[in-house]
Amino acid sequence: MSDVLDEIFERVVASRIFRNRDILSPDYIPDRLPHREEQIKRVGSVLAQALKNSRPNNLFIYGLTGTGKTAVTLYVLRRLVEKAKQLGVRVSYVYVNTRQRDTPYKVLADIASSVGLRVPFTGLSTAEIYARLVRALSRWDGVLIIVLDEVDWLVRRRGDDLLYKLTRIGYDLPPGSAKVSLVGITNDVRFVEMLDARVRSSLGEEEVIFPPYNAEQLRDILWERASQAFQPGVIDESVISYCAALAAREHGDARRALDLLRVAGEMAERENAPRVTVEHVKKAWIQIERDRIYEVVSTLPLHARLAILAAIRAQRTSGRDYTTTGELYAHYRELATRIGVEAVTQRRISDIINELDMLGILSARVISRGRYGKTRMITLAADEDTVLAAIAQDPRLREVVNTLL
């Protein structure tokens, strides 16, 4: 029976669009990273010390999201380990993303297992794993590079104790032990302020900054990946430029640009189109933006979600295409009472409005009303259906969404 599934399978196997879609996936590390030559050189020269069996300085890497920090670091480390093998030097690294491995226990467990220790999922104290790690490292001859990616997540939740310990692990090791160096990566500009001065100075022995990409650079990056990911002739200049321009507006995020191209390709494939067009990119942008809004709204605290509902309700009842802080707050109080939670203050709601503005969910513009002083013109900045669908997931709010007027 030739059914609908057969058709789908055939379409993917004989794709006219993709040659290898994985090349556009966010964790794929390409062989070439255009416009990161400077950063590759800097990271490479710091870590190259390992090839002479000496401890590389600790390295702190920062830059906005999607600027190639993870890709460059892993690229350099892979090359370093290859070279070390050729030279017969013992160099290894362990990569831990502390957003995923979000406790000191998990981080230490990953480091310990990279040097061959077996650590149970739970049951030991972190002090005990640390002690075992130190023991193992004192018998381990060579250089170990520990990469803590998105390290701000760990520090924000658990403080910088572990970081402090790891930057000083050398002092706990007898002479002739492993040489350990630390690479910390973050996209949080305020991260440094969270650190104790001693941690800051030892982690920041060397620092490399990753500036955002501009549209032209994003174009080169996209071409590089697209030429391997797509069938010949499927992508043209206009599509690449359009993706690059959209992503450049979002502070030069290469991940955004690649996502856009991938989703546009998927849309073309689903439509059985012969090539990817600017129209596909436009649709892809809308879908990605919707997914982002859905995700963001789903994880907001209750009062922020109530504030969004209040904004929509206030706008609808006012008959205008905007609402004000005062109106919004009145509706918010009503909704809070309706679901039986205590309302927060107007001051707090005002802060929440600012946060929602930064997330691109509400837009709050200050306008002057002459002798009545200033007020804010608040409008919904995101797709209403998407926002409401995300809020309605919460059973406490479903009823409110359905009877919003």
* Least gap, CB of 366 to ligand ATP (angstroms): 31
62 vs 322, beta carbon nearer ligand ATP? 62
Beta bridge partner(s), residue 210: 63
* Least gap, CB of 8 to ligand ATP (angstroms): 27
**How is residue 181 written in tokens?**
């160096």
Q: DSSP secondary-structure letter at 275?
A: S
Q: DSSP secondary-structure letter at 321?
A: S
Beta-carbon contacts of 219 under 8 Å, excluding residues fewer than 6 positions away, are 240, 241, 244
* Least gap, CB of 183 to Mg ion (angstroms): 12
**How is residue 389 written in tokens?**
């669908």
36 part of the interface to ligand ATP, by CB under 6 A: yes
Residues 49-88: x where in contact with Mg ion by CB under 5 A, - otherwise, as a string? ---------------------x------------------
* Least gap, CB of 179 to ligand ATP (angstroms): 26
Among the candidate windows 77-85, 134-142, 251-259, 281-289, which touches ligand ATP by CB under 6 A?
251-259
Angle, helices 254-270 vs 215-229, to 10°: value is 40
Q: DSSP secondary-structure letter at 230?
A: B
104 vs 212, beta carbon nearer ligand ATP? 212
Ranked by CB distance to ligand ATP, the top (closest) residue is 68
In the region spanning residues 59 to 78, those forming contacts with ligand ATP, defined by CB under 6 A, are 63, 65-71
In the region spanning residues 194 to 223, those forming contacts with ligand ATP, defined by CB under 6 A, are 221
- Burial profile 235-258: b = 16 or more Cβ within 10 angstroms, e = fewer: beeebbbbbbebbbeeebbbbbbb
d(CA 308, CA 52): 58
Return the residue of 19, 26, 251, 393 that touches ligand ATP, per CB under 6 A. 26
Cβ contact 332:347 at 8 Å: no
What residue ranges bind ligand ATP (CB under 6 A)? Answer: 26, 30, 33-36, 63, 65-71, 187, 221, 224, 254-255, 258
What residue ranges bind Mg ion (CB under 5 A)? Answer: 70
